[in-house]
Structure 1
Amino acid sequence: MQRPKKFNGLRHLALKVKNFEECVDFYHRIMGMDILRQANDNLIYLSCGNDNLSLSRAQSPQEAGHHNLDHFGFVVDSKQELQQWYEFLQSQGVPLLDTPHDHSDGARSFHCTDPAGNVVQPIYHPAISGQVFKCA
């Protein structure tokens, strides 16, 4: 199954992960993020084009903890794209925590986990989906 159109973004997030290579593969190959640069063997930067995700290798089990992070979301531009992402992630064997569901504010989303156990929420939200961000 072909990966759907790229997400419309998550502006910046930095994660320390114990399974560094698996997480790089997940965000690059499965989620479709471009590799901006690999600073060293323990640090890489990825992007959907209007954002920045930093992954660093946790040097101890304590560093790889989830701290106060509940989840983070990637924006899609339509409910149809959201469904395409759900079907694609399902075809890739990504652990899915729920199915696409509507929110009371008109949003629609579902949740999955990355190889480090972080909860990722692909989301369509009428207030922010479809926006194009440009630097002034």
Structure 2
Amino acid sequence: MSTRPGGMLGMHHVALFVHDLEACLHFYRDVVGMVEEWQPDPDNIYLTSGNDNVALHRLAVDKTLDGPQRLDHLGFILRTPEDVDAWHAHLTANEVRIAQAPKTHRDGARSLYCFDPCGNLVQFIYHPPIADKL
């Protein structure tokens, strides 16, 4: 086995195909608070919260993703367990569909799950090994 190269900073980018680009842009920008980083054309937009990148790519309404690749969920790291509850209140106030209310896990993490407008499962999580380093 060869030596693993250095430079790994973790996964900070996800790209999503979405049928309703405008609704997802509203969710990630206006509800979640991400900032538009770059929009090369009307069908693609890149957003950031400062240390990550979410790409939204419009998928034609007559197209489906039937291949082997499946996304379980994407996640946003929160600084404290209390932030999870604050995000739950915020998402609920913005009529975001909640999949799982805030829950504390055995490892000390605390999270909630919701759906973006295109049905992607989104997690908001306080995960000590990551949050404590940021």
Shorter-chain-normalised TM-score: which range?
Answer: 0.7 to 0.9
Structure 1 residue aligned with 2:3: none
- Residue 80 of structure 1: how far off its partner (Å): 1.1
1:116 maps to what in 2? 118
Shift in Å, 1:63: 4.1
Q: Distance in 2 between matches of 1:116 and 1:33?
A: 17
Letter of the structure 2 residue corresponding to residue 90 of structure 1 = T
| Matching of residues 44-83 of structure 1 within 5 Å | 44-59=45-60, 60-63=62-65, 67-83=69-85
User: Which residue does the alignment assign to 1:100?
Assistant: 102
TM-score, normalised to structure 2, is 0.86
How much has 1:99 moved relative to structure 2? 1.1
Map of 1:5 onto structure 2: none
For the pair shown, the structure with the greater C-alpha radius of gyration is: 2
Larger RCO (CA within 8 A; separation ≥ 6): 1
Alpha-carbon separation, structure 2, partners of 1:74 and 1:68: 19
Name the residue aligned to 2:6.
Answer: none
Is 1:76–1:130's contact at 8 Å kept on the other side of the alignment?
A: no
CA distance, structure 1, for counterparts of residue 67 and residue 88 of structure 2: 27
CA RMSD of aligned residues (A): 1.8
Alignment TM-score, normalising by the size of structure 1: 0.84
Structure with more of its chain in strand, by fraction: 2
In structure 1, give the amino acid aligned to 2:50: G
Which runs of 5 or more structure 2 residues have no equivalent in the other structure? 1-10
1:6-57 deviations in whole A, cap 9, x for unaligned?
Answer: xxxx710000100111001110000000000111000000000001100010
Deviation at 1:131, TM superposition (A): 2.6
Which stretches in structure 1 are left out of the alignment for 5+ residues?
Answer: 1-9
Identity of aligned residues (%): 39
How far did residue 78 of structure 1 move? 0.1
What's 1:3 paired with?
A: none
Q: Does the residue aligned with 1:70 lie in a helix, a strand or coil?
A: coil
Partner in structure 2 of residue 14 of structure 1:
15
Report how far residue 61 of structure 1 moved.
2.3
Q: C-alpha separation between the residues in 2 aligned to 1:116 and 1:124?
A: 24
Equivalent position SS for 2:28:
helix
